Chain A
Amino acid sequence: MSYLPCGTYFESYADDQKWWRTNFIKGKMIFMVVLLAAAPYIVGSQWMSVFYTINYYILAALGVQLLIGYCGQITLGHAAFVAVGGYTSAMMVLFLPWPQFMVDAGLVYPISIVCAGFAAALWSVLFGLPSARVKGFYLIMTTMAAQWITLRLVITQLSKIGGREQSFPLPPGIIKIGPWVIDSDEKIYYFSVILVLICLVAMGNLLRSKMGRAWIAIRDNDIAAETMGVNIVVYKLLAFFVSGFFAGIAGAFWISALFFVSPENYEWFYSLLWVGIILIGGVGSIQGIVFGSAFVVIVFKLLEISVLGLSDILMTSYPEWGWVTTKIIFFKESAFGLAIIFFLIYEPNGIAYRYWQLKNYFNLWPFSYTGK
């Protein structure tokens, strides 16, 4: 399937570089889109929150994958850029004096998404500036600094606007795209699917362009790239810009699912979670982001369900063990930590590599000639 069938020859470079080169791939993609569109009716709407959480993680991890997996710039502060996106969008929707016709036409939220993307991108470039001079651990420290500085600024400066507490609730009906008001789990899900598809395609296209090739050259060896004529400062900053833009979109999307913004959704934990997701999924692979996000969210959900089931049993038969259920969050965190460690030790190439192996196996089935 990843190989071309016999007898298919391309006559131009453009044909060879196309997204969908054969009818089979085209069919596969159309099937996938249909499957995504029909998902709420197949699995039931109670699972929609899991699905759009996966999509949110995909959006957020996209930027991390770009920086770490394609440009080789390690970032551990991505939640800060997502926070900038979320807050920009929320502040714009809540506090800007929009003319009435724009509110009626539902333009406010889409405009705020784009602005959130640019705000987060600029903020990200600001913290990417040291990457011109430092790399490795020193760069990790500057991105970590971004996390601390941004979150502190948000908590101390923004949370005072309007004299509210730390979170800004978004009144129902305010998140509106054109004529559609986003108010139910299914609508959030569809919105997230559309955003994810757009962003994944954009990312894939960027990586095929001059810019993407420059990023990959920098990742593989930045000094060699520089001698080959790649302006590494510009391209590193571009990588920060684009990844910040994706982060901003992710942040702006997530407020439509939460209906509020509050700093605790942008803790350092999330920065690390997204890096963990791309490591579990596979570094340097777009599919890896999807696999990693799905793996993490579903494992968390299963842990939750199993512990909740366990708590019922405990409550009825062993009431003195009831405290176990209050520790579920910490258990989840510990389990996630161990999952990262064991993936890195035993599966350093991530799930995407296993998927690739599986695909190859079935390509050649039943005449596989590799021992693996």
Chain B
Amino acid sequence: MELFLQLIVTGVMLGSIFALVSLGWVLIYKCSGVLNLAMGELTMIGGYVCLAFYQKFVTIMPVNYAFVLALIGTVIIGLILGLLTERIFLRKMIGEPVLAVIMVTVGLSFFFKGLVFMIWDTDTQVFLPRIFSIEPIVIWGITVGAVYLWSFIAAMVLMVIFICFFKYTRWGLSMQACADDEMAALSLGVSAKFVYALAWAIAFMAAGVGGTLLGNINGLNYSVSSLGLLVLPAVVLGGLNSVPGAIVGGITIGILQNLAGGYGEAYVPGSKEVAPFVFMVIFLLFKPYGLWGWERIERV
């Protein structure tokens, strides 16, 4: 029972990172209708950029400050990269068929992956000196790694910031308007180009922070990008165009992965990686539009 609770709690915390990254994914989809398969690579880039900043900063200041500064640097780089990506590659694809747009994001994922490995190589790299202590924290008898707890807090804070941004700022409202009905938004003077750019920038920022947190948990290497790809089952579970769905889906995938790792691995090795996808396929057979996705009614 204790193991079960522990797996659940760690799963929720890991899942909150997935939820953060899926939030970025859903934003892009809602605002511009692009199904982004490069999310894993965006996550990985974030991790590596943060590592580079951290290694620079840590020589001149204490660890905590260095990490926070590096995180801010990652967010800024994410913003710039997001704007550039949208401007150079995605804007030309507005109005093209779905497969073409998807394959552009696949091309982007190849491009980014090659770029990252060209710059940083494929060896596993870790944040040294450690930012979070190895000592686990005990809450009500459940042991949790410090890095998980802090990741959870960071992901939650960021998600609250993003949601406030959508609800209360002018830019956020224009994004909501565009997602709701693009034609109406355009006719009321919302700039669609600006909204698309903003969505990509936010996705890059969220993925960057997510990648940093994942990199702190396991070390940075290619596996971060496959962890980042787990946002896809997460968003499918939640329905593609629902922000709460993405958050619930992310946390579900985190729990599922941890449970499969804790219990299934003994019987079926490798079930930790497979479980989210198996669950997703079976889930889709029964609820083809996810939990809160819009059902599309089609006519000839």
A-side residues, CB < 8 A to B, are 68, 74, 76, 127, 129-130, 133-134, 136-138, 140-142, 144-145, 148-149, 152-153, 155-157, 221, 223-224, 227, 269, 272, 275-276, 279, 283, 327, 330-341, 344-345, 348
Known A-B contacts A140-B35, A149-B278; A332 and B107 likewise in contact (beta carbons under 8 Å):
no
Chain A residues in 8 Å Cβ range of B99: 68, 74, 279, 283
**Are B268 and A340 in contact, with the CB atoms below 8 A?**
no
- Enumerate the 3 nearest inter-chain pairs by beta-carbon distance, A residue then B residue, closest first: A337-B110, A334-B114, A337-B111
* Alpha-carbon distance between A144 and B112 when the two chains are bound, in angstroms: 20
B284–A142 contact, CB under 8 A? yes
Contact (Cβ within 8 A) B288 A134? yes
**Given A141-B236, A149-B277, A279-B100, list of 7 further CB < 8 A pairs?**
A130-B284, A144-B277, A153-B274, A330-B113, A330-B117, A334-B114, A337-B113
Q: CB-nearest residue of chain A relative to B99? A: A74
Evaluate contact between A138 and B278: CB separation under 8 angstroms. no
- Determine which of B93, B114, B300 lies in contact with A221 in the assembled complex, contact meaning CB atoms within 8 Å: B300
Task: Verify B107–A344 contact, CB threshold 8 A.
Answer: yes
**Could you list 22 examples of A-B contacts with CB < 8 Å?**
A74-B98, A74-B99, A74-B102, A130-B281, A130-B285, A133-B285, A141-B280, A149-B274, A149-B278, A224-B300, A272-B110, A279-B103, A330-B117, A332-B114, A334-B110, A335-B114, A337-B107, A337-B110, A340-B110, A341-B108, A345-B92, A345-B104
Identify which of A134, A144, A145, A156 contacts B268 (C-beta below 8 A): A156
- Min Cβ gap A217→B in Å is 12
B interface residue numbers (CB < 8 A to A): 35, 37, 89, 92-93, 96, 98-100, 102-104, 106-115, 117-118, 232-233, 236, 240, 268-270, 273-274, 277-278, 280-281, 284-285, 288-289, 298-300
CA distance A74 to B299 in the complex (A): 21
A340 touches B274 (CB 8 A): no
Nearest-Cβ distance from residue B155 to partner chain A, whole angstroms: 23
A314 to chain B, nearest CB (A): 16
Chain B residues within an 8 Å CB radius of A137: 35, 98, 102, 236, 240
Decide: A337 and B277 in contact? CB cutoff 8 A. no
A68-B118 Cα distance, complex, nearest whole Å: 32
Complex contacts, B106 vs chain A, CB 8 Å: 76, 272, 275-276, 337, 340
B91 to chain A, nearest CB (A): 10
Contact: B232 with A334, CB < 8 Å? no
Instruction: Return the contact of A337 from the options B108, B118, B268, B280 (Cβ within 8 A).
Output: B108
CB distance from B181 to the nearest CB of A (A): 20
How far does the alpha carbon of A345 sit from the alpha carbon of B115 in the complex, in Å?
Answer: 21
Find B269's partner among A142, A156, A224 (CB 8 Å cutoff): A156
Chain B positions within 8 Å of A327 at CB level? 117-118
State the Cβ distance, A78 to closest chain B Cβ, in Å: 13
Contact status A152-B273, CB under 8 Å = yes
